[in-house]
Amino acid sequence: MYFSQRRTNLLRVLEIESKIKDIEHGDEYLRVKREIKVLENAHGGGGILTVTSPDDINEVVEIRKNSVDVAEYLMKYKGQMRSVMERIDLLNDEKSRLKKELFSGMA
């Protein structure tokens, strides 16, 4: 592998790592992660949960802990988390491929 190609691959790996970090520290990921945790831990305490709507992040809703809405919201949030994780997985796959190219040409 030529130096210029190695340099390009290395820069792309660094760019991918930055994108992954941005996603994992971004508002969408953190909000979805927080809401999933709230909904999954809805066991004790008061009977009402306050969460953002999975359909509209500007809307805050109150739902009863043992209602069917909890399961519905949890399902929607897990779908959103899957979408985010798929983006991260694609970036990780590309990063792994580039690293393999980088280090296989070392010998």
Residue-wise pLDDT for 54-78, tens only, equals 999 899 999 998 888 999 999 999 9
pTM assigned to the model: 0.82
What are the domain boundaries of the chain? 3-104
Is the separation of the CB atoms in 29 and 23 below 8 Å?
A: yes
Tell which CATH classification among 1.10.287, 1.10.1660, 1.10.3470, 3.40.50 matches the domain 3-104: 1.10.287
Looking at residue 107, its amino acid is A
- What are the tokens at 56? 């509209």
- What is the pLDDT confidence band of residue 1, given thresholds at 50, 70 and 90? low
**3-state per-residue secondary structure call for 12-63:** HHHHHHHHHHHHHCCHHHHHHHHHHHHHHCCCCCCCEEEEECCCCCCCEEEE
